Amino acid sequence: MAPNQPEAQDAGGAVVSTDPPIAGRAFSVTMGIALGLLVSVTPLSGVEPISLAFLVVLYAGFRWALGRPSARERRRLLLGTALATVVVCYRLPVKILDRSIPPLNYPRMSLADLSSRLYSDHHLRCRVYDDEAREEMIQFSTDRALSQREVMERLASETGRELNISYCGTMGGSILFGGYPSFTTLRPRRASGRGGR
């Protein structure tokens, strides 16, 4: 018996190991990764088949973990691996706003026209609704590839506007791919203070 290996006694008094075998641990880790991936790609809104499938698999996983020897160790491995997988998926740069846009070079045009061009050319949705956007002229360029978020942040900085990123709650956003930023706007900055002070 290896030192510090968990031990227990069976009904006959014989000493047995409660440490799960390597194959059991590998299966727990594999199950945890599968559950974490399923959680990460499951749509966060609405009742959809993949959401129901996730609940079924999660229930089966718990039943398996609790009904086997060394249940506590297996449960920790399964849930710990699942949680780590979800965190990794959340941090992966595969969200819509992480998509790369090549260097840009737009001639002088109104901010409203630039917003339309960015959407038609690169599917970058950054809307402007105020009348000033039709009068405000801007020449916009970047010297390297940037993410959609970085392009919008630079545009907000150059125009002195406020970037407001809002996500649609009914278009099946997930932890891995994020939400759909369909309500992203550039708004004029509000005057600070009260009464125009």
Mean pLDDT of 76-81: 84
Report the DSSP beta bridge partners of residue 163. Answer: 186
At 94-131, the pLDDT tens digits run 888 899 999 999 999 999 999 999 999 999 988 898 88
Strands (E) located in 10-129: 15-17, 100-101, 105-110
Q: What are phi and psi of 168, to 5 degrees?
A: -75, 135
pTM higher than 0.75 for the full model?
A: no
- Assess whether pLDDT exceeds 80 at residue 49: no
Lowest mean pLDDT among 16-20, 42-46, 74-78, 187-191: 16-20
Assign 55 a pLDDT band (cuts: 50, 70, 90): low
* Complete domains list, the chain, with CATH: 7-91 (no CATH), 96-188 (3.55.50)
Mean pLDDT of 136-153: 94
Report the DSSP beta bridge partners of residue 7. Answer: 17
C-alpha distances (whole Å) from 12 to each of 8, 116, 161 are 11, 78, 77
Assign 39 a pLDDT band (cuts: 50, 70, 90): confident
C-alpha distances (whole Å) from 89 to each of 32, 170, 180 are 13, 21, 17
pLDDT score recorded for residue 30: 87
For the chain, the average pLDDT equals 78
**Is pLDDT larger for residue 108 or for residue 41?**
108
Q: What's the per-residue H, E or C state across 154-170? A: HHHHHHCEEEECCCECC
**Structure tokens belonging to residue 61:** 């996983």
pLDDT score recorded for residue 59: 65
- Assess whether pLDDT exceeds 70 at residue 196: no
Q: Say if CB 165 and CB 97 are below 8 A apart.
A: yes
pLDDT score recorded for residue 141: 94
pLDDT score recorded for residue 1: 45
C-alpha distances (whole Å) from 117 to each of 107, 109, 122, 129 are 11, 10, 8, 15
pLDDT score recorded for residue 74: 76
**Structure tokens belonging to residue 97:** 């706003």
pLDDT score recorded for residue 54: 63
Mean pLDDT of 29-49: 76
